[in-house]
Amino acid sequence: MDIFIQQLVNGLVLGSIYALVALGYTMVYGILELINFAHGEVTMIGAMIALAVIGALLGAYPQAPALLVLLAGVLAAIPACMALGYVIERVAYRPLRRAPRLAPLITAIGVSIVLQNAAMLIWGRSYISFPPILPHGSHTVLGAVVTDLQIVIVALSILIMFGLTLLVERTRLGRAMRATAQSREMAELMGVNVNTVISITFIIGSALAAIAGVMVSAYYGLAHYYMGFMLGLKAFSAAVLGGIGNLAGAMLGGLLLGVIEALGAGYIGDLTGGFLGSNYQDVFAFLALILVLVFRPTGLLGERVAQRA
Amino acid sequence: MLLTGCGQGKNTAANGVVIRIGSVVPLTGPQSHIGKDNDNGARLAVDEINAQGLKLAGQPVKLELISEDDAADPKTAATVAQKLVDEGAKAVIGHLNSGTTIPASRIYHDNGIPQISPSATAIAYTAQGYGTAYRVMANDAQQGKALGQYAVTKLGAKKVAVIDDRTAYGQGLADEFEKAVKAAGASIAAREYTSDKATDFSAILTSIKGKNPDLVFFGGMDPQGGPMSQQMKRLGLRAQLLGGDGLQNINFLKLAGVDAEGVIASSPGLPLAAMPGGPAFKQKFEARFGPIQVYAPYAYDAVNVLVAAMKRADSAEPAKVLAELPKTDQAGVTGPLRFDAKGDIAGGSVTLYRVKNGAWVVLETVK
């Protein structure tokens, strides 16, 4: 039983990181119906910038308090990624807004390749390790080991998701975002500055990506120029699983994908008597995705989007 | 520029015949520092031989080392191998990785060119029966066996969990380890898999924890091994982590941080300080190229083995050199160099290391 709880904890931590990245995909899709494939790379850039700042600070002030150094890293990564998100939208997507839908998809992949290679040139090809400044505390809950870092990751993710939901549901900006998502032309006629709304969407999504990037590198203890690719792919799948374009769906999809992966990898070998091993972990996760899409093509919480006239 | 470049294509130089030897390693990519290290080792040997003056069939000859980049990629490796063949290379030192050495070995075999790899350890490389493929380092069978026996007899492991990264290297090493563990009388509690791109191992480690093994073996490289040792500690999995030469490097220490402490890993061959020619080689090498990464002494030995065979054949003709290579019996920097019937190093040794106070410390060398 304690093993089951432990796997659930593993899955929830992984899932909340997926969910945070998935929110970025789903927000952009909700408004532009564009899959921003560069989003995973923004996560990576966030991790890299935070690590560079943390490394430089620790080099200059080895005795600096860990929390302060970490905070400085995060506070450097967030505005940098926000700026990056804005620039990506401005340079790669806005000029193509009236182009066929395949065109921005291709520039999205292009931006992702450019960012990967830029990161490779700036930070090199080796794995960068996260300095050991994080607390190592852990607790035992129902027989499962839960570390302080895991608690922070899950709590922070839930807090951010809650805040984002409030922003979209309760504020003027949120209303403008929802209006733009429903119909860009109509929102424009009602006096909404659509370009600003879209820019802000990218900026918010990129800020979330920066936080997720720092979380991932802190949790796994490393960063690498290629780390955004797989994370982006998984988070995108999570967004589709939950219903792309739907905020609650992205959260649900992320958490669910994380838990399915953990339980799949943990139990598939024992359940099949060793016939299938943990090498089928990803197969398991994507099988769940396919099954959901077969029976609910819009994802778990997605609604059918009416074809625009 | 163009005019001066023309002269390089000629195969006769002022002081006699030029013999081209290929050196293939990843010169770009995440393993480029190890690749450059091998290339420097080979270059040191070539320059020394040229300085001493080499005579074949009464004529002075000059060796020319052609360095090529395979980017640690099997497809590029085959392309580069063909390029070397087309350029008339008489022999090849390389490649660095098992995954690149194996596809390239077919091309060298088809063209009858001798190939000596300093560092490819996968069993499959010399198991193809090519007669052109040699290596100067103990293979994964020898390493896996040494690790398995050490785990059971010295560390007293009774229940062992095995994880591999599904690459030719990781899986091969894990399979050999598993065989040796079973032969030594311990049981395999779990066999789990990951990939060479994964960073999250909590699910498989939790599953392993439920089976209570006293040792976890990982067949794979440091980018996975580092986070894995951290996640083991985090999950309270107190089993000993054991790995192969993929973990036995500086990068692993960096990535695992404090959790590297106590991890045991092996590396083929002797530690540099214990090699018969190790300290002298280190001095020579570092005066010219800077610190040794890992395999440079093996690349140096590979060149010397090749040239010794050329001297015995009194020719650089690949067919004649190939006839002489099996008779190799000489003292190298890394130890005695003799080949078995397959082209593997005979009596290759494996050294085990443990992380102590953030550095790798030699435990023992197993023959």
Q: What band does B4 get if pLDDT is binned at 50, 70 and 90?
A: very low
Q: Per the domain annotation, does B146 fall within a domain? A: yes
Same domain as B358, residue B225: yes
The yes-or-no verdict on residue B79 having pLDDT over 90 is: yes
Q: How far apart are the C-alpha atoms of A81 and A87, rounded to whole Å?
A: 10
Per-residue pLDDT of B198-232, as tens digits, reads 888 998 999 999 899 999 999 998 889 999 999 99
Looking at the partner chain, which of B191, B199, B222 has a beta carbon nearest the beta carbon of A220?
B199
Chain B residues with CB inside 8 Å of A221's CB? 226-227, 230, 255-257
ipTM of the prediction: 0.84
Contact of B133 with chain A, judged by CB distance below 8 Å, is answered with no
Same domain as B280, residue B263: no
- Partner-chain contact B226 A224, CB within 8 Å: no
For residue B255, the chain A residue with the least C-alpha distance is: A129
Chain A residues with CB inside 8 Å of B200's CB? 10, 14, 220
Residue among B102, B85, B91 at smallest CA distance from B65: B91
- Partner-chain contact A269 B227, CB within 8 Å: no
Q: What band does A306 get if pLDDT is binned at 50, 70 and 90?
A: very low
Chain A residues with CB inside 8 Å of B165's CB? none
Same domain as B362, residue B226: yes
Average pLDDT, chain B: 90
Q: How far apart are the C-alpha atoms of B153 and B188, rounded to whole Å?
A: 15
Same domain as B131, residue B149: no
Per-residue pLDDT of A237-282, as tens digits, reads 999 999 888 889 999 999 999 999 888 888 877 777 767 777 777 7
Q: Give the Cβ contact number of residue A167 at 10 Å.
A: 14
Per-residue pLDDT of B230-250, as tens digits, reads 999 988 899 999 999 889 988
Q: What band does A214 get if pLDDT is binned at 50, 70 and 90?
A: very high
Segment A76-101 shows an average pLDDT of 94
Same domain as B193, residue B78: no
The yes-or-no verdict on residue A216 having pLDDT over 90 is: yes
For residue A217, the chain B residue with the least C-alpha distance is: B199
Looking at the partner chain, which of A127, A265, A274 has a beta carbon nearest the beta carbon of B251?
A127
Segment B164-170 shows an average pLDDT of 85
Between B91 and A138, name the one with better pLDDT: B91
Segment B272-283 shows an average pLDDT of 91
Question: Among residues of chain B, what percentage have pLDDT more than 90?
Answer: 66
Q: How far apart are the C-alpha atoms of A264 and A276, rounded to whole Å?
A: 11
Contact of A15 with chain B, judged by CB distance below 8 Å, is answered with no
Q: How far apart are the C-alpha atoms of B255 and B354, rounded to whole Å?
A: 16
A226-235, B6-15, B160-169, B200-209: least confident range = B6-15
Same domain as B7, residue B43: yes
Same domain as B264, residue B281: no
Same domain as B249, residue B145: yes
Q: How far apart are the C-alpha atoms of B290 and B283, rounded to whole Å?
A: 10
CATH of the domain at B233: 3.40.50.2300
Residue among B175, B154, B167, B153 at smallest CA distance from B198: B167
Contact of A59 with chain B, judged by CB distance below 8 Å, is answered with no
Segment B252-259 shows an average pLDDT of 90
pLDDT of residue A304: 56
Same domain as B131, residue B255: no
Q: What band does A1 get if pLDDT is binned at 50, 70 and 90?
A: low
pLDDT of residue B51: 95
Chain B residues with CB inside 8 Å of A127's CB? 30, 222-223, 226, 251, 255
- Partner-chain contact A221 B257, CB within 8 Å: yes
Per-residue pLDDT of B29-78, as tens digits, reads 667 778 899 999 999 999 999 999 999 998 999 999 999 999 888 999 99
Per-residue pLDDT of B289-343, as tens digits, reads 988 888 899 999 999 999 999 999 999 999 999 999 999 999 999 988 999 999 9
The yes-or-no verdict on residue B2 having pLDDT over 70 is: no
Q: Per the domain annotation, does B345 fall within a domain? A: no
Q: Per the domain annotation, does B173 fall within a domain? A: yes
pLDDT of residue B108: 97
Give the pair of three-digit tokens for residue A247.
């905020």
Contact B25, B95 (CB under 8 A): yes
Contact B265, B353 (CB under 8 A): yes
Q: What band does A175 get if pLDDT is binned at 50, 70 and 90?
A: very high
pLDDT of residue A305: 53
Same domain as B297, residue B241: no
Contact of B255 with chain A, judged by CB distance below 8 Å, is answered with yes
**Helices A247-271/A2-32 angle, 10° precision:** 140
pLDDT of residue B360: 93
What's the number of domains chain B is made of? Answer: 2
- Partner-chain contact A127 B255, CB within 8 Å: yes
Question: Among residues of chain A, what percentage have pLDDT more than 90?
Answer: 60
For chain A, give every domain's residue range.
Answer: 2-295
Chain A residues with CB inside 8 Å of B227's CB? 220-222
Sign of CA dihedral A296, A298, A301, A305: negative
Q: What band does B11 get if pLDDT is binned at 50, 70 and 90?
A: very low
Segment A111-133 shows an average pLDDT of 87
Chain A residues with CB inside 8 Å of B190's CB? 269
The yes-or-no verdict on residue B364 having pLDDT over 80 is: yes
Cα–Cα distances in angstroms (integers) from residue B124 to residues B26, B139, B193, in the given order: 20, 9, 21
Average pLDDT, chain A: 89
Residue B129's domain spans which residues?
2-138+275-334
pLDDT of residue B9: 42
Chain A residues with CB inside 8 Å of B230's CB? 220-221
- Partner-chain contact A220 B236, CB within 8 Å: no
For residue A276, the chain B residue with the least C-alpha distance is: B192
Q: What band does B13 get if pLDDT is binned at 50, 70 and 90?
A: very low
Same domain as B279, residue B219: no
For residue A120, the chain B residue with the least C-alpha distance is: B29
Q: Per the domain annotation, does B342 fall within a domain? A: no
The yes-or-no verdict on residue A118 having pLDDT over 80 is: yes
pLDDT of residue B87: 94
pLDDT of residue A308: 40
Q: What band does B186 get if pLDDT is binned at 50, 70 and 90?
A: very high
pLDDT of residue B30: 66
Q: Per the domain annotation, does B340 fall within a domain? A: no
Residue among B141, B138, B184, B137 at smallest CA distance from B159: B184
Topology of domain A2-295, per CATH? Answer: ABC transporter involved in vitamin B12 uptake, BtuC (1.10.3470)
Give the B window 184-203 contacts with A, CB below 8 Å: 190-194, 197, 199-200, 202-203
Same domain as B197, residue B247: yes
Contact B79, B106 (CB under 8 A): no
Contact of B43 with chain A, judged by CB distance below 8 Å, is answered with no
For residue A8, the chain B residue with the least C-alpha distance is: B203
The yes-or-no verdict on residue B7 having pLDDT over 70 is: no
For residue B194, the chain A residue with the least C-alpha distance is: A279
Q: How far apart are the C-alpha atoms of B143 and B165, rounded to whole Å?
A: 17
Contact of A107 with chain B, judged by CB distance below 8 Å, is answered with no
Q: How far apart are the C-alpha atoms of B203 and B208, rounded to whole Å?
A: 9
Q: How far apart are the C-alpha atoms of B136 and B94, rounded to whole Å?
A: 11
Chain A residues with CB inside 8 Å of B229's CB? none
- Partner-chain contact B234 A138, CB within 8 Å: yes
Which residues does A125 contact at the CB level (< 8 Å), separation at least 6? A225, B29, B30, B32
